[in-house]
């Protein structure tokens, strides 16, 4: 699907790792950066004072913080014509920069509407990897600003992965093929269909590869189409609710508005997980792989997918080396550890995710705990070379399960 270009969201950026003097208030309270060439290329040759800017802290699950603060771009030697210019970027104290630490990634971006956006991600975090990948910040960043622009030949097309990262920044990505999608979702009016129905519609209209030939391509194609369908329908539903307004007894009903806003966010989060499970189930069926979805193992544990069946799992005579389980989480954050407690008979567990650029620290910990991460092939480019060599794509997982089931069948 066509998602537009990065230049539609960012024109130029400057990125660096924060030095102690810039991040630690105990070392300095200067609240400014030297106006080096990279910053001058982002902010331009004209001074400005107290211009509102947005600051975002990308700390992890439920830890994102957004604040606004005025910034000033000025020549500190403006009144000293006999001396060379010395540019400074000054920012007022704010919640985001107070959370920043030495070594964190800082990206200062100029958006097409001239908004200045400060983005801070902790060093070594998944969100740092995702931000660096989005802006093409390959290699090690040092304490000096690195410049990048996205106009003309330096622009890059956006895809499902890039849009995922943009949303982490609070930026709504462009909606592709809006007219075609509107014709599809019109049949549902202003009501969300059951999750399985929405997933089935995506598989019908996605134009994705045959899952028997390209499981990874089919999975990503279906997910992208369903996400686009959902967003078009959501836009219609939200627009109608806004037209109705939020009022009670002639006054604005703030509680009603907040409840509606929360319901929109919760629906987005819960739907993606179900969507991924629906499409995995469709691929398993197309490839004739025996499985049960949500079968009970021990206590209240219910792996998303158990292979070949719950009956085999609970049969003590069935070789545990021929059993498999797959956890399915569209995003991980720190929730991947939940999978470790599921299906005690299976030593090596598998977990499928759509989250790009997971940190090295997390993938190393997964490997130490016997958890194999499964990521669609198209997302492997967002990981380091060492991580990519360890990752399993969806096709590889299916081949492992199919081989185990073939060996179990041969044993009778």
Residues classed as catalytic: 313
Handedness of CA 389, 391, 397, 401 (dihedral sign): positive
Of 326, 242, 310, 322, give the one whose Cα is nearest residue 277. Answer: 326
Distance CA(88)–CA(49), nearest Å, equals 11
Could you give the C-alpha distances from 345 to 129, 134, 289, 308, 404, in angstroms and in order? 34, 40, 20, 13, 15
Integer-rounded Cα radius of gyration of the chain: 25
Place of tokens 């991580």: 387
Question: Contact 214/271 with Cβ under 8 angstroms?
Answer: no
CB atoms within 10 A of CB 248: 10
CB atoms within 10 A of CB 397: 21
CA 201 distance to own-chain centroid: 24
Place of tokens 């997971």: 358
């Amino acid at each position: 699907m066509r998602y537009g270009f990065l230049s539609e969201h960012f024109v130029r950026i400057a990125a660096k790792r924060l030095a102690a003097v810039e991040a630690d208030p105990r070392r300095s309270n200067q609240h400014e950066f030297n106006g080096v060439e990279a910053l001058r290329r982002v902010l331009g040759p004209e001074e400005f004072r107290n211009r509102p800017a947005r600051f975002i802290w990308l700390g992890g699950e439920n830890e994102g913080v957004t604040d606004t603060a005025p910034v000033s771009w000025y020549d500190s030697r403006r009144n000293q014509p006999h001396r060379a210019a010395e540019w400074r970027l000054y920012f007022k104290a704010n919640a985001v920069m107070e959370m920043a630490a030495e070594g964190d990634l800082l990206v200062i971006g100029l958006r097409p509407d001239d908004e200045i956006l400060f983005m801070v991600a902790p060093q070594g975090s998944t969100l740092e990897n995702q931000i660096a990948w989005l802006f093409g910040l390959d290699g090690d960043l040092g304490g000096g600003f690195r410049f990048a622009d996205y106009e003309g030949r330096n622009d890059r097309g956006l895809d499902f992965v890039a849009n995922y990262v943009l949303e982490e920044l609070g930026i709504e990505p462009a909606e592709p093929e809006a007219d075609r999608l509107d014709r599809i979702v019109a049949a549902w009016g202003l009501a969300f269909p059951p999750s399985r129905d929405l997933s089935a519609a995506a598989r019908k209209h996605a134009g994705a590869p045959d899952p028997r030939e390209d499981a990874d391509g089919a999975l990503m194609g279906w997910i992208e189409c369903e996400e686009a369908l959902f967003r078009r329908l959501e836009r219609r539903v939200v627009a109608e609710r806004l037209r109705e307004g939020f009022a009670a007894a002639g006054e604005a009903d703030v509680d009603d508005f907040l409840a509606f806003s929360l319901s929109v966010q919760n629906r987005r989060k819960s739907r993606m997980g179900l969507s991924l499970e629906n499409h995995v189930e469709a691929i398993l069926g197309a490839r004739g792989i025996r499985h049960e979805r949500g079968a009970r193992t021990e206590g209240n544990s219910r792996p998303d997918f158990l292979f070949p069946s719950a009956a085999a799992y609970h049969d003590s005579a069935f070789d545990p080396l021929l059993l498999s389980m797959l956890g399915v989480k569209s995003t991980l954050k720190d929730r991947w550890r939940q999978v470790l407690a599921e299906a005690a008979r299976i030593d090596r567990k598998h977990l499928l995710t759509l989250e790009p650029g997971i940190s090295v620290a997390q993938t190393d910990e997964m490997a130490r705990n016997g958890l194999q991460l499964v990521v669609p092939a198209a997302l492997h480019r967002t990981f380091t070379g060492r991580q990519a060599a360890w990752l399993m794509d969806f096709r590889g997982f299916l081949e492992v399960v199919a081989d185990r089931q073939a060996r179990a069948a041969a044993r009778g």
